[in-house]
Structures are given as structure tokens and as C-alpha cells.
Amino acid sequence: IYVNNTSCVEVSTSKDNVPSWKVPWVHHLFESGATVADGICTAYKIRKAKGLFEGEIPYIIHIGGDGSTYDIGFQFLKAALIRTSTMVEMNIYLKDQK
């Protein structure tokens, strides 16, 4: 499941409410994509623990630009990391970090 903030990628791949994504995809505001991704992960874990979901929990991938990862949404990303979220964060600014 992809979570995508409002960004260049989102605007260019979701014209007129018809996304070009062929997988489950969620659009959210600039700042809170990490929180939405973390919430989806948590919901799947709770449903699985209660026996309401069978199978493997899907991968949750948050695709964020500089706004959602650094400028505007850093506090939301930081909060997801503090909660030890199991989602994946994809951002070009993070790829070279050690």
C-alpha cells in the first residue's frame, strides 16, 4: 500500500481523481503522510491480533518529498520513528544517509 503526500509525484500520477497507480494507494496532505502510513500499519496489526485479518500484513510504503520529510512534516516522520513504526519511508534526501 502506497501512501503519497501532495507532491510532484502525486500531481503527475493522479489526474482528475484517476490515479495511474495499479496498487492500493492513499493520498494525504503534505505534512502527515508518515502518520497515515503508521496508522495503516497499526490498523493491520490490530486486526490481525484480533483474528479479523488473515495472511501477511502488506508492505506500507510512504513516498514523500522534501516537504513531508524535512520542511513541513519532519515532526510527523519523527513521531512515527519514535513509535517504532514498521512502515518504509522513501525519499531521495534519505538515500545517502548513513
71-96 burial, b at 16+ Cβ within 10 Å, e below that, comes to ebbeebbeebeeeebebebebeeeee
Q: Does residue 36 have a pLDDT over 60?
A: yes
- Average pLDDT score, the chain: 78
Q: What is the mean pLDDT of residues 77-84?
A: 73
Q: In sequence order, what DSSP letters do the residues of the chain get, joined into one string? A: -EEEESSHHHHHH-GGG----SS-EEEE-SS-HHHHHHHHHHHHHHHHHTTS--SPPPP-EEE--HIIIIISSHHHHHHHHHTT---EEE-TTTTT--
Q: What is the reported pTM?
A: 0.72
Q: Are 34 and 91 in contact (CB under 8 A)?
A: no
**What is the percentage of the chain residues whose pLDDT exceeds 90?**
14
